[in-house]
């Protein structure tokens, strides 16, 4: 009897110890459970900690400047900024019961998982309480900040992707509007040595080249990621095949080995040796932030920007592109959730804050008012990305609990395809579907 009791007690204690660590700690009331404060002065004096991913001195200063307005509005609230924080640090902090009051992330890949698991608090109720009209945000921005009806983060600043072209290398040609025009112009602008070695590339179609990722290229052909039930649509949507076949034709025209050798000879994406600055590539796919980098690193470069070319049979897509961006929210277990929400609300809806951040970081501000603000610094090249961001067909990678995994799965397949290792495109894409769907099952989707 004594031995049985000991065995039972040991098993019970072990089970309790194992399961106890699965529940995250929550030390403060959740957002929306308290009554709404009547005004800014009604919030008690408190100190907030905000974690963000920016690390360059200019970026950190921009964040400080953007928060200055909040400090004026809520003098009783002090805000401490913690720079250079990555997503896994946020997850671990929440898991360990040491969550900051506010946290932001550069990418949108973890939003679905954060919403699903409750890592970030649902903002729906406080948004409703404060009468915030989310229709001022483009649909894509709304979609990458929520998952299954749970809005757990807000968009802070956005990125949009388009085409940069070197005016001198273009020799008067207009930027291409369709994929066949892009192919034609690429062939015209490419310069080779007698032995076929590439000296200047019109456009590098390699999926391994800098920003030529599946997610950035998919909007060019309107390719879908998921079926309505969350399973992969990559194998069944003909748009992916259209993109891959167009790409392979251009890679083969260059010759894979020659293109690969040329690609590997180019400078780093984040250095002043970027091949676009050096006139080695005439057209590149890139984000709006490249404008700021060009101004800093290659001020004399004569360049233009345009929307990405689209599939020949889908001209209605022209002007759209890929968008995603920085997100910000109130983690589970935040010590001062109501004050934290005020800070999130200020940073994501206050026009002055958004314009200050945008002007400093040269990212696209997310609300309609900030986009139309006379204080927003715009030039022709930046305007291109504002237009892409606002285009009704502009899209993003829809939220999924396996967002990173799924993008990696197609990306990995694209590398194989580009090399010529894939003999049967349909079977290969079906294999990608299988990987994505198997993982979805494992994740309980």
Partner 1 sequence: MSITHAAPPRRWRGEGRKALLWMSPWLIGFAVFFVYPLAATVYFSFHRYDLFTLEFVGLDNYRYFFHDDRAWISIRNTLWLVVFMVPAQVLFGLAVAQLLTRLKAGAGFFRTVFYLPSLVPLVAGTVSFVFLMNPSGPLNQIIDLFGITAPDWFGDKDWAKPGLTLLAMWGIGNTMMIFLAALLDVPKHLYEAAAIDGAGGWRQFRSITLPTISPVLMFSTVTGVIYALQYFTQAMIASRVAAGVTDSPGSAFVPGYPELSTLTLPQWLFHAGFRDFSMGYACVLALLLFAASMIFTLVLLRRFRAFTDDEGGSR
Interface residues toward partner 1, by CB under 8 A? 14, 17-19, 21-24, 88, 91, 95, 106-109, 113, 116-119, 159, 161, 208, 210-211, 213-216, 264-265, 268-270, 287, 289, 322, 324-325, 396-397, 401-405, 407-408, 411-412, 415-416, 435, 438-439, 441-444
User: What element of type H or E holds 220?
Assistant: helix 214-221
User: What element of type H or E holds 47?
Assistant: strand 46-51
As measured in angstroms, the least distance from the Cβ of 79 to partner 1 is: 25
Nearer to partner 1, 113 or 366 (CB): 113
In the DSSP assignment, the letter for residue 134 is G
Tokens matching residue 16: 């309790």
As measured in angstroms, the least distance from the Cβ of 179 to partner 1 is: 19
As measured in angstroms, the least distance from the Cβ of 217 to partner 1 is: 10
Nearer to partner 1, 55 or 383 (CB): 55
Nearer to partner 1, 356 or 396 (CB): 396
237 within 8 A of 436, measured Cβ to Cβ: no
217 within 8 A of 196, measured Cβ to Cβ: no
As measured in angstroms, the least distance from the Cβ of 110 to partner 1 is: 8
Nearer to partner 1, 185 or 217 (CB): 217
Nearer to partner 1, 1 or 18 (CB): 18
User: What element of type H or E holds 428?
Assistant: helix 425-442
Give whole-number Cα distances, 38 to 35, 43, 96, in Å.
9, 8, 33
Between the two ends of the chain, the Cα-to-Cα distance in Å is 46
Helices (H), 96-213: 111-117, 124-129, 139-143, 167-170, 179-189
248 within 8 A of 417, measured Cβ to Cβ: yes
Buried b (16+ CB within 10 A) or exposed e, 126-148: bbeeeebebeebbebbbbbbbbe
Nearer to partner 1, 173 or 443 (CB): 443
As measured in angstroms, the least distance from the Cβ of 264 to partner 1 is: 6
Q: What angle (nearest 5°) sits at the alpha carbon of residue 356, between those of residues 354 and 361?
A: 90
As measured in angstroms, the least distance from the Cβ of 412 to partner 1 is: 5
435 within 8 A of 410, measured Cβ to Cβ: no
- Using DSSP's 3-state secondary structure scheme, residue 154 falls into strand
As measured in angstroms, the least distance from the Cβ of 37 to partner 1 is: 29
Nearer to partner 1, 150 or 216 (CB): 216
As measured in angstroms, the least distance from the Cβ of 129 to partner 1 is: 26
Nearer to partner 1, 183 or 396 (CB): 396
């Amino acid at each position: 009897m004594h031995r049985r009791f000991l065995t039972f007690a040991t098993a019970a204690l072990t089970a309790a110890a194992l399961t106890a660590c699965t529940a995250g700690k929550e030390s403060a009331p959740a957002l929306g459970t308290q009554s709404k404060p009547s005004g800014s002065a009604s919030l008690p004096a408190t100190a907030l900690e905000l974690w963000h991913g920016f690390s360059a001195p200019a970026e950190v200063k921009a964040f400080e400047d953007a928060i200055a307005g909040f400090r004026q509005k809520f003098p009783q609230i002090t805000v401490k900024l913690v720079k250079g924080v990555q997503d896994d640090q946020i997850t671990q902090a929440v898991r360990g019961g040491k969550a900051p009051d506010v946290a932001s992330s550069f990418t949108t890949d973890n939003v679905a998982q954060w919403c699903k698991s409750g890592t970030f608090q649902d903002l729906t109720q406080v948004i409703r309480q404060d009468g915030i009209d989310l229709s001022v945000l483009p649909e894509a921005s709304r979609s990458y900040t929520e998952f299954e009806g749970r809005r757990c983060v807000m968009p802070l600043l956005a990125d949009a992707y388009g085409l940069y072209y070197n005016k001198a290398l273009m020799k008067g040609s207009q930027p291409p509007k369709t994929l066949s025009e892009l192919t034609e112009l690429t062939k015209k602008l490419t310069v080779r040595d007698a032995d076929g070695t590439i000296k200047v590339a019109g456009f590098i179609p390699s999926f391994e080249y800098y920003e030529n990722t599946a997610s950035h290229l998919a909007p060019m052909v309107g390719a879908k990621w998921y079926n309505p039930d969350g399973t992969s649509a990559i194998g069944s949507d003909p748009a992916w095949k259209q993109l891959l076949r167009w790409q392979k034709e251009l890679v083969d025209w260059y010759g894979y080995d020659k293109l690969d050798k040329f690609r590997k000879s180019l400078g780093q994406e984040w250095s002043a040796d970027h091949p676009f600055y050096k006139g080695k590539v005439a057209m590149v796919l890139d984000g709006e932030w490249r404008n700021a980098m060009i101004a800093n690193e290659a001020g004399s470069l004569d360049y233009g920007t345009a929307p990405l070319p689209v599939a020949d049979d889908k001209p209605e897509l022209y002007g759209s592109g890929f968008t995603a961006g920085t997100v910000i929210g109130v983690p589970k277990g935040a010590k001062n959730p109501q004050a934290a929400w005020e800070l999130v609300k200020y940073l994501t809806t206050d026009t002055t804050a958004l314009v200050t951040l945008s002007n400093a970081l040269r990212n696209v501000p997310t609300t309609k008012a900030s986009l139309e603000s006379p204080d927003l610094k715009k030039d022709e090249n930046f305007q291109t990305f504002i237009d892409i961001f606002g285009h009704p067909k502009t899209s993003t990678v829809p939220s999924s609990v396996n967002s990173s995994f799924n993008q990696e799965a197609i990306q990995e397949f694209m590398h194989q395809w580009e090399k010529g290792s894939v003999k049967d495109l349909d079977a290969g894409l079906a294999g990608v579907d299988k990987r994505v769907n198997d993982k979805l099952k494992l994740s309980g989707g």
